[in-house]
Chain A
Amino acid sequence: MNHTVIEKIFRRHSKEDIKPGSIVWISLDVVSARDFGGPNVVKNYRKTYKDSRVFDQEKVFFTFDLTVPPKTIQYANNQQVCREFAREQGIKVFDVDQGIGTHTFMEEGFSLPGTIVVGTDSHMNILGAVNCFGQGMGDVDIAFGFRFGRTWFEVPETVKVIVKGNPRSDFSAKDLTLKILGVLKTDKLLGKAVEFYGEAVESLDLSGRITMLSMITEMGGISGFIPFNLGTREEIKKLNGLDDIPEEVRADENATYSEIIEIDISDIEALAAEPPYPHNVKKLSQIGKVKVDFGFIGSCTNGRIEDIEIAWNILKGRHIAPGVRLAVVPATRKVYAEAMERGMLQDLFKAGAIISNPGCGGCAQGHIGMTGKGEVMISTGNRNFPGKQGDGKNYLASPEIVAHSVLNGYLSGELN
């Protein structure tokens, strides 16, 4: 046996011979659609399959996370199209109160080690954090998946990335992610799966793994995996409340990789991605003193309780700089509840933050927090493409940096 993680997951889901480059049919464990994409999935489905039932009512879901609650009549109508379909078909909707779909799947135990979960979300590969192969797809793909619970896939090659250099305690998972993104850019992993090894990545906790693996999308990759450490299984069980979960899928010792890349992180320091691309990664010290207007803490990349806690520890008892705004958006209802119960929301509120219900927050003009021309945003999100979060400039960084920046009023990694 000489298979990589993704090949082994595919082998469990296909009768065909799994080797990189071959196109195979695979079965799907969960097929989902969001409020964007969802209405077109329904449209395609109805047109093609009429009243036929979805392949399995327990494995098909809607997750509304982008415009929550809907802010325009069009979005409200779109969501209602999905709800009506869901009622007819007897399938579950994680509605506008729930938060980000992929995170809900992890919390509800729908994405388990070794499974395959697809949806109309290009950051489905976050699920690599729990050793699940998550894949974003368009609405034709998903309509087909709703009906048949399978799809075709070109088995990707896998790149092995070995992260070297002593992991220090004073950089965050986001710095590590940006450091790696800055090296790999968008071409090294294009269309490929990736496995990360090395103490700095393997020691990440679940929230750090989510941060890291969510940005495989920005690296152009299909999906990423990091071997579990001693605590990862327990963290997953604690999150989804299950007594037991399947064993993690690990690569064979002599698995074949298309490339092995070593990345030395020993010179890592506080980093940010300069607009207009996530891979435009610079040291904060190189970027200089950029005045910020708006801070954002949240998104599928940094919307866990651990991320909010980091910001909270920096912001509590202080107040953001005059003229600066800060939005905090927990990833899910569960995260929101914990932040509330532990008093974080109150302290963040007093520090001047705008706190919103869980969801995708600043992305796609769906929910909260666009910038106008000339404004500068510092965000924990994953994309800073032109127009993604408004007409202003958008820097991407860790929750630490966002918190320090809104306190100081300019891009910074520590308190002035």
Chain B
Amino acid sequence: MKEYTFSGRTWVITGKNNEIIPDIDTDQIFHNAYLHITEIEKMGQYTFDNLEGWKDFSTKAKPGDIMIAGSNFGSGSSRQQAVDCFRALGVKVIIAVSFGAIYKRNAINSGFPILMFADAERIISEKKIKNLDKVKIDLSTGKLTKVESGETFSLMPFSKVQKDIYDSGSLLNI
């Protein structure tokens, strides 16, 4: 059985004014200068190294972390590295207001858990969830819980295909 609950520290990808950044594209996540890299282990170090304010993310992220991003996260190219670089860093779940269509497929197909959180913009701007908060997330129900306060938030749970692929580890094992 695959793991369905995770707890970890959060990274909320915000910009100036503490607002969650929309439209982060794959060149900001994993720049095209490194596209020749095909080994996952080598990808982590370049994560966000073209995203203003987050260039040192790879040195700050720790295995088990949970990330929260804005709308249209991962728009742009079809590069799988933009998903795999987070896997390399040990990031466990990516939550976003919405995802770029290809990014969404790439994450689902490689068995990487992503969840949509329509309300994230408001929750973040009201500072209900901040960087390095400890949270618990249940992939099957889409429930996000703040460990300290017990406050909960509803995210969109896994779809059937997403669950099937996640259970087998990858589209390739289906």
A→B interface (CB under 8 Å): 23, 36-37, 39-40, 43-44, 47-48, 72, 74-75, 78, 120-122, 136-141, 143-144, 152, 154, 186-187, 190-191, 220-222, 277, 363-366, 383, 385-388
In the assembly, what is the distance between CA of A144 and CA of B31, in Å?
25
With a cutoff of 8 Å between Cβ atoms, the chain A residues found around residue B118 in the complex are none
B10-18, B100-108, B128-136, B139-147 - the one binding chain A: B100-108
Sort chain B's interface into a size bin.
Answer: 35 or more
Contacts A23-B159, A152-B161, A220-B101; A138 near B36 (Cβ below 8 A): no
A37 touches B79 (CB 8 A): yes
Contacts A39-B38, A40-B38; A122 near B102 (Cβ below 8 A): yes
Looking at the complex, which one of A39, A121, A141, A186 makes contact with B171 (CB distance below 8 Å)? A141
B1-9, B56-64, B69-77, B148-156 - the one binding chain A: B69-77
In the assembly, what is the distance between CA of A277 and CA of B78, in Å?
18
Contacts A44-B172, A140-B106, A143-B172; A74 near B101 (Cβ below 8 A): no
A72 touches B27 (CB 8 A): no
With a cutoff of 8 Å between Cβ atoms, the chain B residues found around residue A220 in the complex are 72, 75, 100-101
A37 touches B32 (CB 8 A): no
With a cutoff of 8 Å between Cβ atoms, the chain B residues found around residue A187 in the complex are 71-72
B32 touches A139 (CB 8 A): no
With a cutoff of 8 Å between Cβ atoms, the chain A residues found around residue B45 in the complex are none
With a cutoff of 8 Å between Cβ atoms, the chain B residues found around residue A140 in the complex are 80, 106, 109-110, 170-172
Contacts A23-B159, A122-B77; A138 near B83 (Cβ below 8 A): yes
In the assembly, what is the distance between CA of A143 and CA of B52, in Å?
34
Interface residues in B93-140 by Cβ distance below 8 A to A read: 98, 100-102, 104-106, 109-110
A138 touches B79 (CB 8 A): yes
Residue ID in chain B nearest A223 by CB atoms: B101
In the assembly, what is the distance between CA of A37 and CA of B82, in Å?
12
Known pairs A152-B161, A187-B71; list 13 more (Cβ under 8 Å): A23-B161, A39-B38, A40-B38, A122-B76, A138-B79, A138-B106, A144-B174, A220-B72, A365-B33, A385-B76, A386-B28, A387-B50, A388-B27
With a cutoff of 8 Å between Cβ atoms, the chain A residues found around residue B27 in the complex are 383, 385-388
In the assembly, what is the distance between CA of A136 and CA of B102, in Å?
7
Looking at the complex, which one of A48, A75, A136 makes contact with B36 (CB distance below 8 Å)? A75
In the assembly, what is the distance between CA of A136 and CA of B50, in Å?
23
Contacts A121-B78, A187-B71, A385-B25; A141 near B98 (Cβ below 8 A): no
With a cutoff of 8 Å between Cβ atoms, the chain A residues found around residue B36 in the complex are 72, 74-75, 78
B80 touches A37 (CB 8 A): yes
A171 to chain B, nearest CB (A): 26
Contacts A136-B102, A138-B106; A36 near B35 (Cβ below 8 A): yes
In the assembly, what is the distance between CA of A37 and CA of B161, in Å?
23
Residue ID in chain B nearest A43 by CB atoms: B38
Contacts A144-B172, A386-B50, A387-B50; A138 near B101 (Cβ below 8 A): no
B139 to chain A, nearest CB (A): 17
Q: Does B23 contact A (CB under 8 A)?
A: yes
A6 to chain B, nearest CB (A): 13
